[in-house]
C-alpha cells in the first residue's frame, strides 16, 4: 500500500533542526525529500552532536537524528550554473522548505516570487525565527532565544528556578511539526500553490493553549509551578522509596481510591482537604502527608498498583529507561540501520509518534552523505556526465 505522500517531491533547503524535522515527518509519510545543501559543508547539523569523530566525517549525530530516508545533492546558488540547475530541480518539485532569515532567498534570486514563475503550484514553506514580517523580523533566532521570547521559559521550573530552559529544543521541534502540518494540509488545497509563513514563537504559543487562554480569558498571570499541576490536587510529582512518581488524582473518586490504597482515609476528614479547591489551596502540605505512605515502596511498584485500581500514575523515567521499555522498543518507534555509509557502524534513530493501520512509518535508507545523490538527481534532469564534471570543477555543485 502506498504511503499518503507517495509521489510528492520535497526540496529541503533547511539547516539544523526546525526545517529538517519538518521534512523528517514528510519523508516518513512517503514524500521524496531531497536535501539541497551547500557545496563543501552541507547542513550545519552535519558538524553537530556528541560524537566528535562523526562531526569530522560530516555525519554528526544531530544530522543523523532527522535525515534518514532523504537524498542529498549539493549546489552553489551564488554560481549562475548552480542557480540554473536548481531552478530545473524546482520545476520538478511540489514543495520547497527553507529556514533562512527572511530575505536571504530573495537576495539569491530564488525566493517565492521568482520560483512560482517556474512552478506556479509550488508550496513554498519558510520557517523563521519570528515570521516574515513585524518589528522583530530580522532578529537572529535559535531555539533557546525562542524559548525565552515565547514565554516558555517563564513558566518552566518553579518559583525558585524559573525562568528555565526546557530540556530539549522544543521551539525548533514544534516549529518543524507546525510546518509539516501546514504543508500536508496545503497539499490537499486547490489551487495548491501557496507561501507558508511559519513563525517559531507563534507555533510554540499555539501549543500553550491553556496557559494563554487562562491569561486572556480568565485574567490569570502565567506562573512556574514546577512539578505541581495547578489544575487539581493531589496532582504532581511525589517522592517514593526509590525514584519519583507522578500521580494525577484529579477526580474526587480518584482521591478516595488513593487515600484508601495508602491507608490515609483519615485525611479526607480534615477540613483543608474536603474539596478539590481546598486540596489545591493546601497542596504542599497534602503532598507531604501522602509522601509519608508513598516512601514505603518504589515508584514503579506504586505506579503499577495505583494504575490497577484506577488512579492515573507513572514512574518518572530517564530517556535511556523509556527507550528500553517494551512499550516503546517493541512498537517500531526506533529505526535500525546497519553499517551506515560515512558513519561506519550501525545506528538507531527515532521515527515518528504514530502508526498507520498498525505499522509505524519507516524509510528504506539511512541519512545520506553530503552530495551522495548528485549523479542520480542531476542526471535525471538531463545533465550529462560531461556537464556534471564541468559543474563540479566550476564549484556549481
DSSP category for residue 265: G
- Distance CA(211)–CA(199), nearest Å, equals 19
CB atoms within 10 A of CB 301: 16
Name, in order, each residue with C-beta under 8 angstroms of 389's C-beta and a sequence gap of 6 or more: none
Name, in order, each residue with C-beta under 8 angstroms of 300's C-beta and a sequence gap of 6 or more: 242, 243, 315
- Distance CA(350)–CA(323), nearest Å, equals 10
Q: Which residues are annotated as catalytic?
A: 172
> Nine-digit cell at 230?
495547578
Name, in order, each residue with C-beta under 8 angstroms of 195's C-beta and a sequence gap of 6 or more: 112, 124, 126
**Strands (DSSP E) found in the chain:** 9-12, 32-37, 71-74, 95-98, 123-128, 194-199, 235-239, 244-248, 313-315, 334-337, 347-350
Name, in order, each residue with C-beta under 8 angstroms of 174's C-beta and a sequence gap of 6 or more: 200, 203, 204, 207
> Nine-digit cell at 383?
545533465
Name, in order, each residue with C-beta under 8 angstroms of 192's C-beta and a sequence gap of 6 or more: 94, 121, 123, 186
What is the three-class DSSP state of 233? coil
Amino acid at each position: 500500500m502506498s504511503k499518503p505522500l507517495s509521489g510528492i517531491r520535497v526540496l529541503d533547503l533547511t539547516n539544523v533542526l526546525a526545517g529538517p524535522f519538518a521534512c523528517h515527518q514528510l519523508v516518513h509519510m512517503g514524500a521524496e525529500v531531497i536535501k539541497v545543501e551547500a557545496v563543501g559543508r552541507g547542513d550545519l547539523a552535519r558538524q553537530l552532536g556528541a560524537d566528535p569523530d562523526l562531526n569530522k566525517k560530516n555525519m554528526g549525530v544531530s544530522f543523523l537524528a532527522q535525515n534518514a530516508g532523504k537524498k542529498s545533492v549539493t549546489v552553489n546558488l551564488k554560481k549562475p550554473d548552480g542557480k540554473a540547475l536548481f531552478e530545473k530541480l524546482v520545476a520538478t518539485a511540489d514543495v520547497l522548505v527553507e529556514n533562512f532569515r527572511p530575505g536571504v532567498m530573495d537576495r539569491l534570486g530564488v525566493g517565492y516570487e521568482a520560483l512560482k514563475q517556474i512552478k506556479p503550484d509550488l508550496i513554498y514553506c519558510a520557517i523563521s525565527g519570528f515570521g516574515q514580517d513585524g518589528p522583530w523580523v530580522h532578529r537572529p533566532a535559535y531555539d533557546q532565544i525562542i524559548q525565552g521570547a515565547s514565554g516558555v521559559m517563564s513558566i518552566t521550573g518553579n518559583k525558585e528556578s524559573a525562568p528555565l530552559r526546557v530540556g530539549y529544543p522544543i521551539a525548533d521541534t514544534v516549529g518543524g511539526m507546525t510546518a509539516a502540518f501546514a504543508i500536508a494540509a496545503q497539499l490537499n488545497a486547490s489551487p495548491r500553490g501557496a507561501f507558508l509563513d511559519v513563525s517559531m514563537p507563534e507555533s510554540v504559543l499555539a501549543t500553550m493553549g491553556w496557559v494563554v487562554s487562562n491569561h486572556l480569558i480568565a485574567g490569570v498571570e502565567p506562573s512556574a509551578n514546577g512539578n505541581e499541576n495547578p489544575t487539581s490536587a493531589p496532582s504532581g510529582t511525589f517522592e517514593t522509596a526509590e525514584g519519583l512518581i507522578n500521580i494525577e488524582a484529579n477526580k474526587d473518586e480518584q482521591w478516595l481510591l488513593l487515600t484508601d490504597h495508602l491507608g490515609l482515609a483519615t485525611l479526607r476528614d480534615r477540613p483543608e482537604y474536603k474539596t478539590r479547591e481546598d486540596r489545591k489551596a493546601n497542596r504542599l502540605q497534602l503532598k507531604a502527608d501522602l509522601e509519608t505512605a508513598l516512601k514505603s515502596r518504589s515508584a514503579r511498584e506504586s505506579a503499577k498498583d495505583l494504575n490497577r485500581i484506577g488512579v492515573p500514575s507513572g514512574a518518572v523515567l530517564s530517556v535511556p529507561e523509556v527507550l528500553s521499555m517494551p512499550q516503546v522498543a517493541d512498537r517500531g518507534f526506533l529505526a535500525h540501520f546497519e553499517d551506515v555509509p560515512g558513519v561506519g557502524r550501525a545506528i538507531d534513530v527515532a521515527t515518528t509518534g504514530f502508526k498507520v493501520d498498525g505499522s509505524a512509518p519507516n524509510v528504506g535508507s539511512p541519512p545520506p552523505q553530503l552530495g551522495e545523490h548528485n549523479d542520480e538527481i542531476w542526471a535525471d534532469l538531463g545533465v550529462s556526465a560531461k556537464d556534471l564534471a564541468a559543474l563540479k570543477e566550476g564549484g556549481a555543485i
